[in-house]
Amino acid sequence: MHVNYIDFTHFELPKPIYINMIRDPVERVISWFYYKRAPWTAVQMYKLTKKFRKPQWYKKGFEDCVVSGDLECRYEVDSKFQSSVVDHKRQTLFFCGHDPSCEPFNSNGALQMAMQHVENEYAVVGSWEDLNVTLEVLEHYIPRFFRGATQLYFDVENGMISTPMNVNPWKPSISAHIKELIRKNFTREYEFYNFCKQRLYKQYYALQNMKAFN
Protein backbone atom coordinates (compact mmCIF):
# COMPACT_ATOMS: atom_id res chain seq x y z
CA MET A 1 0.00 0.00 0.00
CA HIS A 2 1.28 3.48 -0.94
CA VAL A 3 0.59 6.02 1.80
CA ASN A 4 1.78 9.61 2.04
CA TYR A 5 3.28 10.85 5.29
CA ILE A 6 0.66 11.77 7.89
CA ASP A 7 1.32 13.70 11.10
CA PHE A 8 -0.91 11.73 13.45
CA THR A 9 -0.38 14.19 16.29
CA HIS A 10 -2.71 16.59 14.42
CA PHE A 11 -5.45 14.08 15.14
CA GLU A 12 -4.35 13.56 18.75
CA LEU A 13 -3.09 10.08 17.91
CA PRO A 14 0.28 8.54 18.79
CA LYS A 15 3.05 8.55 16.20
CA PRO A 16 3.74 5.26 14.43
CA ILE A 17 7.25 4.05 13.66
CA TYR A 18 7.72 5.45 10.18
CA ILE A 19 9.84 3.54 7.66
CA ASN A 20 9.91 3.56 3.87
CA MET A 21 11.97 2.53 0.85
CA ILE A 22 13.33 4.61 -2.00
CA ARG A 23 14.41 3.67 -5.50
CA ASP A 24 16.34 5.33 -8.32
CA PRO A 25 13.77 7.89 -9.58
CA VAL A 26 14.10 7.17 -13.30
CA GLU A 27 14.17 3.38 -12.88
CA ARG A 28 11.11 3.77 -10.68
CA VAL A 29 8.98 5.60 -13.27
CA ILE A 30 10.01 3.14 -16.00
CA SER A 31 9.04 0.25 -13.75
CA TRP A 32 5.67 1.85 -12.98
CA PHE A 33 5.00 2.51 -16.69
CA TYR A 34 5.26 -1.20 -17.49
CA TYR A 35 3.80 -2.48 -14.23
CA LYS A 36 0.45 -0.85 -14.95
CA ARG A 37 0.48 -2.44 -18.42
CA ALA A 38 1.29 -5.96 -17.21
CA PRO A 39 -1.45 -8.58 -17.72
CA TRP A 40 -1.97 -9.20 -14.01
CA THR A 41 -2.49 -5.48 -13.39
CA ALA A 42 -4.99 -5.31 -16.25
CA VAL A 43 -6.96 -8.16 -14.69
CA GLN A 44 -6.92 -6.50 -11.27
CA MET A 45 -8.18 -3.24 -12.74
CA TYR A 46 -10.89 -5.05 -14.70
CA LYS A 47 -12.19 -6.56 -11.47
CA LEU A 48 -12.57 -3.02 -10.11
CA THR A 49 -13.78 -1.14 -13.19
CA LYS A 50 -15.33 -3.93 -15.32
CA LYS A 51 -13.49 -2.68 -18.39
CA PHE A 52 -10.12 -2.86 -20.11
CA ARG A 53 -8.23 -0.01 -21.74
CA LYS A 54 -7.80 0.21 -25.49
CA PRO A 55 -5.24 -2.27 -26.94
CA GLN A 56 -2.90 0.52 -28.10
CA TRP A 57 -2.53 1.72 -24.51
CA TYR A 58 -1.16 -1.66 -23.42
CA LYS A 59 1.16 -1.76 -26.43
CA LYS A 60 2.58 1.71 -25.82
CA GLY A 61 6.37 1.71 -25.33
CA PHE A 62 8.17 3.97 -22.87
CA GLU A 63 10.77 5.27 -25.33
CA ASP A 64 8.16 6.24 -27.93
CA CYS A 65 6.06 7.76 -25.18
CA VAL A 66 8.94 10.04 -24.13
CA VAL A 67 10.09 10.99 -27.63
CA SER A 68 6.57 11.77 -28.85
CA GLY A 69 5.87 14.07 -25.92
CA ASP A 70 2.94 11.97 -24.76
CA LEU A 71 1.23 13.51 -21.72
CA GLU A 72 1.85 10.32 -19.76
CA CYS A 73 5.62 10.65 -20.19
CA ARG A 74 6.12 14.36 -19.71
CA TYR A 75 8.14 15.17 -16.62
CA GLU A 76 7.77 18.94 -16.51
CA VAL A 77 9.04 20.84 -13.49
CA ASP A 78 6.23 22.18 -11.26
CA SER A 79 3.56 20.26 -13.21
CA LYS A 80 0.39 19.32 -11.33
CA PHE A 81 -1.64 16.12 -11.36
CA GLN A 82 -3.59 15.29 -14.51
CA SER A 83 -6.96 13.65 -13.85
CA SER A 84 -6.56 11.44 -16.93
CA VAL A 85 -3.15 10.06 -15.94
CA VAL A 86 -2.32 7.87 -12.93
CA ASP A 87 0.80 9.61 -11.72
CA HIS A 88 3.53 8.08 -9.57
CA LYS A 89 6.50 10.15 -10.72
CA ARG A 90 6.82 12.07 -7.43
CA GLN A 91 8.77 9.90 -4.97
CA THR A 92 9.07 12.92 -2.68
CA LEU A 93 5.26 13.03 -2.39
CA PHE A 94 5.16 9.98 -0.12
CA PHE A 95 7.47 11.73 2.33
CA CYS A 96 6.22 15.29 1.87
CA GLY A 97 2.62 14.46 2.74
CA HIS A 98 -0.72 15.98 1.77
CA ASP A 99 0.11 19.67 1.77
CA PRO A 100 -0.65 21.43 -1.57
CA SER A 101 3.04 22.37 -1.83
CA CYS A 102 3.84 18.67 -2.20
CA GLU A 103 2.06 18.36 -5.55
CA PRO A 104 4.24 20.33 -8.03
CA PHE A 105 6.67 17.89 -9.63
CA ASN A 106 10.39 18.29 -8.88
CA SER A 107 9.73 21.43 -6.84
CA ASN A 108 11.95 22.83 -4.12
CA GLY A 109 9.04 23.13 -1.68
CA ALA A 110 8.20 19.44 -1.93
CA LEU A 111 11.89 18.54 -1.64
CA GLN A 112 12.47 20.58 1.52
CA MET A 113 9.37 19.30 3.29
CA ALA A 114 10.14 15.70 2.32
CA MET A 115 13.72 15.96 3.64
CA GLN A 116 12.49 17.57 6.86
CA HIS A 117 10.04 14.74 7.47
CA VAL A 118 12.66 12.08 6.74
CA GLU A 119 15.13 13.66 9.11
CA ASN A 120 12.68 14.22 11.96
CA GLU A 121 10.01 11.53 11.61
CA TYR A 122 11.40 8.42 9.90
CA ALA A 123 13.31 5.78 11.80
CA VAL A 124 14.74 4.27 8.61
CA VAL A 125 14.43 5.03 4.92
CA GLY A 126 15.99 2.16 3.04
CA SER A 127 17.13 1.82 -0.55
CA TRP A 128 16.22 -0.97 -2.95
CA GLU A 129 19.64 -0.49 -4.57
CA ASP A 130 21.33 -1.06 -1.18
CA LEU A 131 19.33 -3.91 0.28
CA ASN A 132 22.09 -5.44 2.43
CA VAL A 133 22.73 -2.10 4.12
CA THR A 134 19.00 -1.46 4.51
CA LEU A 135 18.30 -4.79 6.18
CA GLU A 136 21.16 -4.39 8.65
CA VAL A 137 20.03 -0.90 9.61
CA LEU A 138 16.43 -2.08 10.04
CA GLU A 139 17.58 -4.99 12.21
CA HIS A 140 19.45 -2.74 14.61
CA TYR A 141 17.24 0.35 14.62
CA ILE A 142 13.92 -1.49 14.85
CA PRO A 143 14.83 -4.92 16.30
CA ARG A 144 11.32 -5.53 17.59
CA PHE A 145 10.11 -6.06 14.03
CA PHE A 146 13.26 -6.75 12.00
CA ARG A 147 15.52 -8.94 14.15
CA GLY A 148 16.90 -11.67 11.88
CA ALA A 149 15.64 -9.98 8.70
CA THR A 150 18.92 -10.35 6.81
CA GLN A 151 19.18 -14.06 7.46
CA LEU A 152 15.51 -14.54 6.66
CA TYR A 153 15.77 -12.70 3.37
CA PHE A 154 18.95 -14.34 2.11
CA ASP A 155 18.23 -17.89 3.25
CA VAL A 156 18.96 -19.97 0.13
CA GLU A 157 16.16 -22.49 0.66
CA ASN A 158 13.40 -20.58 2.40
CA GLY A 159 14.28 -16.91 2.09
CA MET A 160 12.59 -14.30 -0.06
CA ILE A 161 15.64 -14.19 -2.33
CA SER A 162 14.89 -17.76 -3.42
CA THR A 163 11.52 -16.65 -4.80
CA PRO A 164 11.96 -13.50 -6.92
CA MET A 165 8.96 -11.19 -6.67
CA ASN A 166 7.76 -8.24 -8.74
CA VAL A 167 9.67 -9.40 -11.81
CA ASN A 168 8.00 -8.04 -14.93
CA PRO A 169 8.92 -9.96 -18.11
CA TRP A 170 6.97 -7.38 -20.13
CA LYS A 171 9.40 -4.60 -19.20
CA PRO A 172 12.05 -4.19 -21.94
CA SER A 173 15.49 -2.65 -21.58
CA ILE A 174 15.40 1.13 -21.95
CA SER A 175 18.26 2.93 -23.69
CA ALA A 176 20.73 5.02 -21.71
CA HIS A 177 19.92 7.96 -23.99
CA ILE A 178 16.24 8.01 -22.99
CA LYS A 179 17.09 7.63 -19.31
CA GLU A 180 19.53 10.53 -19.48
CA LEU A 181 16.98 12.61 -21.38
CA ILE A 182 14.34 12.42 -18.65
CA ARG A 183 16.85 12.40 -15.78
CA LYS A 184 17.46 16.10 -16.44
CA ASN A 185 13.94 16.82 -15.18
CA PHE A 186 14.35 14.79 -11.98
CA THR A 187 17.05 16.96 -10.38
CA ARG A 188 15.29 17.48 -7.05
CA GLU A 189 13.95 13.93 -7.03
CA TYR A 190 17.57 12.77 -7.28
CA GLU A 191 18.63 15.24 -4.62
CA PHE A 192 16.06 13.67 -2.31
CA TYR A 193 17.10 10.15 -3.31
CA ASN A 194 20.76 10.89 -2.56
CA PHE A 195 19.85 12.61 0.71
CA CYS A 196 18.03 9.49 1.89
CA LYS A 197 20.88 7.22 0.83
CA GLN A 198 23.41 9.40 2.63
CA ARG A 199 21.30 9.24 5.79
CA LEU A 200 20.99 5.46 5.47
CA TYR A 201 24.75 5.05 5.15
CA LYS A 202 25.36 7.32 8.14
CA GLN A 203 23.18 4.96 10.17
CA TYR A 204 25.01 1.96 8.74
CA TYR A 205 28.50 3.33 9.47
CA ALA A 206 27.42 4.26 12.99
CA LEU A 207 26.54 0.59 13.50
CA GLN A 208 29.91 -0.51 12.13
CA ASN A 209 31.71 1.86 14.51
CA MET A 210 29.73 0.45 17.44
CA LYS A 211 30.75 -3.08 16.43
CA ALA A 212 34.40 -2.03 16.21
CA PHE A 213 34.39 -0.76 19.79
CA ASN A 214 32.52 -3.76 21.24
Q: Map out the domains of the chain with their CATH numbers.
A: 8-213 (3.40.50.300)
Q: What is the DSSP letter of 52?
A: P
What's the confidence (pLDDT) of residue 83?
57
Catalytic residues: 2
HEC sequence for 133-177: HHHHHHHHHCHHHHCCHHHHHHCCCCCHHHCCCCCCCCCCCCCHH
Over residues 163-169, mean pLDDT: 77
Tell me whether residue 48 is exposed, middle or buried, using C-beta atoms within 10 angstroms of its C-beta: 0 to 12, 13 to 18, 19 or more: exposed
In percent, how much of the chain has pLDDT > 70? 95
Q: What is the pTM of this model?
A: 0.91
pLDDT in tens, 75-117: 998 888 775 556 778 999 999 999 999 999 999 999 999 999 9
pLDDT in tens, 127-165: 999 999 999 999 999 999 999 999 988 887 777 776 767
What is the average pLDDT score of the chain?
92
User: 16-25, 64-73, 147-156, 200-209: which has the minimum mean pLDDT?
Assistant: 147-156
Q: Do residues 92 and 61 touch, judged by C-beta distance below 8 A?
A: no
